[in-house]
Structure 1
Amino acid sequence: MSEREAALELARRLTAAGYVALFAGGCVRDKLLGREPKDYDIATSARPDEVLKLFPGSNEVGAHFGVVIAKNHGVHVEIATFRTDGSYKDGRRPEMVTFSTPEEDAQRRDFTVNGLFEIPDSGEVIDHVGGLSDLKAGLLRAIGDPVARFSEDGLRLLRAVRFSTTLGFELEAGTQAAVRSCAPLLARISTERIRDEFSKILTSPRRRSGVELLVETGLMEYVMPEFIKTIGCEQPPEWHPEGDVYIHTCIMLEMLGNDAPLEISLAVLMHDIAKPPCQTRDDDTGRIRFNGHDAMGATMADEILHRLRYPNDVIAAVVPMVARHMQFMNVQQMRTAKLKRFMAEPTFEQEMELHRVDCGSSNGFTDNYEFLQAKAEEFAKAPLIPPPLVTGRDLIKLGLQPGPRFKEILDAIQTEQLEGRILDREPAMDYLRELAAETSA
């Protein structure tokens, strides 16, 4: 059973019991846009206790606010009672709610295109807020007074950018002005909620427009203020004819594939985050340099991602990409062993994509990228890092005590193996004995 069919069945049961039941919000909007809705929400005249009687075993996650999660054939459907909201003292939740009518319920929602209802059986759309005309015009407009809507819940500021980005809609002028004036409200919103909206913007195919809109509206100051300093940070024109660090980064974001994962999007956004603090100019020539921006950038990325409370696996992927992005310029000079270790890193495929858009947005050089593609094909016949020919146990048997020298010896033997000079255990053991003897001497 599809999600729509599961939700339709629940709506019919509510209607059969004498209640009004309408599809609401994003599922109505997406259907009208020709998109497959991710989930279905039902708005109803039934009170939460009445919903629970009809659908025993439902989850009362927000019954106080009129919201119940019902499950049908494994599909979870949010069922919310028509309501009006009281004051939002914490900038997140209403202090109280009053159960009301569809007309009043539509007025409390965030944007007109999200305030539409649909009669489930007939497909007829009910529009109390002018959402249909805005949908046709490609406009994202706050319902009623935009400042009031954003003051109720500051997260709506980021949702405005997110919907504008994902839908490809223009922010209506009054709504955009209100986003800009209300930007400080983001300081009251939890880090986790900000992070989640930010991630949705970065994983949208129109991520560049989203980032630019975050900057234009002043919201980036409350998400990643370090990024603002890339604006106007000049680069050497012979290497970066496209412009400053900000423009360079925006072009890279646009070059990423539509389905680029969050990790590569974050790495692109922050790969040059340390260029502003690292920028210097030669006294004699005036040449601009950014020495050490990769290492400092990795440190900054680590701090930023922890501050935004990203999961450890995301941080573990992004930080090395930022740290290593300048190493691609040296790959053709690397010894085979070093190159294989470089290519064996778990983030290498995403790093290749970062390198592709880094060069494609600036100097256009493809030599290193093509070299690595050729090497990947050449090395594909065997594991980049084969099983070791010797281990620490072999060293212990030779009488060596575990310590830092262990790794040095094992790395030296692995280098010979990767270079193709030692391929079997017996010569590896001979070399091991030689190195062990030097250590004992």
Structure 2
Amino acid sequence: MTFYLVGGAVRDMLLGIPPKEYDFAFSGTVDNFISCNPSARKAGNDFGICILNGIEYAPLRGGSIDEDLTFRDLTINALALDEDSRIYSLPSTLHDLQNKILKPASETAFLQDPVRVFRVARFAAALPEFSIHPDTITQMQRVAASGMLDNLTPERVGTELLKALRCSEPGRFFTVLNDAGCLNPWFAELSRMSDIPAGPVQYHSADCLTHIVTTINKCPNDIVTRYMALCHDLGKQETKPEILPQHIGHEKRGVQLAENLGQRLKLSNNLVRAGAVAALQHMKGGQYLSLRSGTKVDLLYSLHRQQILENFFMLVEADSGKNYLEQAKADLEVILSVELPAKDQNLGAESGKRLRELRCIALSETLRGMKS
């Protein structure tokens, strides 16, 4: 049984990047592999991937390493390294790697597995210096037109999204999908965004998709913050044409759209809620200093309970350029320091109302003291 290190690990080594994960291919059958490695287990898919010590092993497709490479998604991933350190590749692999080109490994690469449409977009986000070959866009468009994207499992698409949000230029994931007509059905909320102005020219000079992409790219490398950036302006897709370029009320419209997106991709409840909060509250975040004390109390305490206060204000900074995080933290500290007197405790809803009033008073007095 011969083993080969394949795919991204070999690519990254050639690019001088420390590999993040290692995948192996082997000659022989899955049964052979498991009999030689009793602790291995099948991953539960038709292709026969096995897991051993947390690493994926898969049988060669086609019977030889050269043929196996033709089944890969992109030429730059059609690489293998054998036990004697010999490198195997497709004829154009090293050329495409050197010239930084993302190109399908075969004419049917994306038809073999339509989720590769999203993998390509994710690689574009991870390797922003790489260009997209015209054949890549053509194949992506073909897959979209065939309807094959409709039949993917939500978890596979959601996994590619979450991986893309960790990349160096995460917004490019959506730009590439948009260019290839692949936002529907999984990212339907973004499908018309490139045709809609983001707002009046004095505030936004770009279309909605460009603004969302730019905002995501400005966020720190944090999945929650970047996902909130993705969701914050979704409501603008449903703005009535007659009131454009204004987007009055887009915050409320965006809540359901954000929830739809997260639930469709079967993301965690925490992410789904964070996306909805971003849609509903981001305008308040951008106007934070001018908010009334009661509005600040409600906003800050809600963000605190959901443990997304820092994420929210990092989104606000990426969206508006205004950094209110330290002020928000100081205001929250004031709010949380307020204690309800014994006489007002255990009164149900009345206790909650009284505590809110005391918090508003404390915050107002603190802010008044800062101004005097």
TM-score by length of 2: 0.85
Residue 116 of structure 1 deviates from its aligned partner by 0.9
Q: Matched residue of 1:316: which SS?
A: helix
Residue 224 of structure 2 aligns with an amino acid whose one-letter code is E
> Are the aligned partners of 1:24 and 1:43 in contact in 2 as well (CA < 8 Å)?
yes
> Are the aligned partners of 1:24 and 1:117 in contact in 2 as well (CA < 8 Å)?
yes
Q: Which runs of 5 or more structure 1 residues have no equivalent in the other structure?
A: 1-18, 85-99, 361-365, 397-401, 422-441
- The whole-number CA distance in structure 1 between the counterparts of 2:41 and 2:267 is 28
Query: What's 1:123 paired with?
Result: 85
Query: What's 1:177 paired with?
Result: 138
Instruction: Choose which of 218, 221, 227 in structure 2 pairs with 1:266.
Output: 227
Query: What's 2:337 paired with?
Result: 386
Q: What CA deviation, in whole Å up to 9, does each residue of 1:284-328 have, x standing for no partner?
A: xxx843221111112221122112211101112221122111113
Q: Which stretch shifts more, 162-171 or 208-217?
A: 162-171
Q: Matched residue of 1:274: which SS?
A: helix
Query: What's 1:315 paired with?
Result: 272
Going from structure 1 to structure 2, the CA distance change for 1:338 and 1:211 (only over 3 Å counts) comes to same
> Are the aligned partners of 1:42 and 1:80 in contact in 2 as well (CA < 8 Å)?
yes
Query: What's 1:95 paired with?
Result: none
Residue 123 of structure 1 aligns with an amino acid whose one-letter code is S
- The whole-number CA distance in structure 2 between the counterparts of 1:291 and 1:228 is 20
Query: What's 2:154 paired with?
Result: 191
Residue 136 of structure 1 deviates from its aligned partner by 1.1
- The whole-number CA distance in structure 2 between the counterparts of 1:58 and 1:127 is 28
Q: What CA deviation, in whole Å up to 9, does each residue of 1:156-183 have, x standing for no partner?
A: 1111222232123222222221111221
Going from structure 1 to structure 2, the CA distance change for 1:166 and 1:45 (only over 3 Å counts) comes to same
Going from structure 1 to structure 2, the CA distance change for 1:64 and 1:335 (only over 3 Å counts) comes to closer
Residue 140 of structure 1 deviates from its aligned partner by 1.8
Residue 197 of structure 1 deviates from its aligned partner by 1.3
- The whole-number CA distance in structure 1 between the counterparts of 2:45 and 2:191 is 42
- Residues 1:164 and 2:124 are matched in the alignment: yes
- Residues 1:410 and 2:361 are matched in the alignment: no
- The whole-number CA distance in structure 2 between the counterparts of 1:273 and 1:379 is 29
Residue 280 of structure 1 deviates from its aligned partner by 6.4
Q: What CA deviation, in whole Å up to 9, does each residue of 1:328-369 have, x standing for no partner?
A: 354333345653553442322222222222224xxxxx4xx3
> Are the aligned partners of 1:22 and 1:119 in contact in 2 as well (CA < 8 Å)?
yes
Q: What CA deviation, in whole Å up to 9, does each residue of 1:203-224 have, x standing for no partner?
A: 3221222211110101112222
Residue 107 of structure 1 deviates from its aligned partner by 1.9
- Structure possessing the higher radius of gyration over alpha carbons: 1
- The whole-number CA distance in structure 1 between the counterparts of 2:241 and 2:43 is 55
The percent of aligned pairs where both chains have the same amino acid is 23
Residue 28 of structure 1 deviates from its aligned partner by 0.9
Query: What's 2:191 paired with?
Result: 228
Query: What's 2:239 paired with?
Result: 278
Query: What's 2:370 paired with?
Result: none
Going from structure 1 to structure 2, the CA distance change for 1:189 and 1:23 (only over 3 Å counts) comes to same
- Residues 1:50 and 2:32 are matched in the alignment: yes
Q: Matched residue of 2:352: which SS?
A: helix
Going from structure 1 to structure 2, the CA distance change for 1:189 and 1:375 (only over 3 Å counts) comes to closer
Query: What's 2:327 paired with?
Result: 375
Query: What's 1:439 paired with?
Result: none
- The whole-number CA distance in structure 2 between the counterparts of 1:395 and 1:352 is 32
> Are the aligned partners of 1:115 and 1:127 in contact in 2 as well (CA < 8 Å)?
yes
- The whole-number CA distance in structure 2 between the counterparts of 1:274 and 1:416 is 34
Query: What's 1:238 paired with?
Result: 202
RMSD (CA atoms):
2.7
Residue 418 of structure 1 deviates from its aligned partner by 4.3
Going from structure 1 to structure 2, the CA distance change for 1:415 and 1:66 (only over 3 Å counts) comes to closer
Q: Matched residue of 1:223: which SS?
A: coil
> Are the aligned partners of 2:127 and 2:168 in contact in 1 as well (CA < 8 Å)?
no
Query: What's 1:363 paired with?
Result: none
- The whole-number CA distance in structure 1 between the counterparts of 2:330 and 2:46 is 63
- The whole-number CA distance in structure 2 between the counterparts of 1:250 and 1:131 is 30
- Residues 1:37 and 2:19 are matched in the alignment: yes
Q: What CA deviation, in whole Å up to 9, does each residue of 1:85-116 have, x standing for no partner?
A: xxxxxxxxxxxxxxx12122222222222221
Matches within 5 A, 1:69-108: 69-71=51-53, 76-84=54-62, 100-108=63-71
Q: Which runs of 5 or more structure 2 residues have no equivalent in the other structure?
A: 367-372
Query: What's 2:170 paired with?
Result: 207
Residue 133 of structure 1 aligns with an amino acid whose one-letter code is H
Going from structure 1 to structure 2, the CA distance change for 1:25 and 1:376 (only over 3 Å counts) comes to same
TM-score by length of 1: 0.73
> Are the aligned partners of 2:224 and 2:274 in contact in 1 as well (CA < 8 Å)?
yes
Query: What's 2:369 paired with?
Result: none
- The whole-number CA distance in structure 2 between the counterparts of 1:65 and 1:334 is 56
The number of equivalent residue pairs is 358
Q: Matched residue of 1:355: which SS?
A: helix
Going from structure 1 to structure 2, the CA distance change for 1:377 and 1:211 (only over 3 Å counts) comes to closer
Q: Matched residue of 2:193: which SS?
A: coil
Q: What CA deviation, in whole Å up to 9, does each residue of 1:225-255 have, x standing for no partner?
A: 2212222323211222x23323322322332
Q: Matched residue of 1:291: which SS?
A: coil
Residue 25 of structure 1 aligns with an amino acid whose one-letter code is G
- The whole-number CA distance in structure 2 between the counterparts of 1:196 and 1:64 is 19
- Residues 1:27 and 2:9 are matched in the alignment: yes
Going from structure 1 to structure 2, the CA distance change for 1:42 and 1:375 (only over 3 Å counts) comes to closer
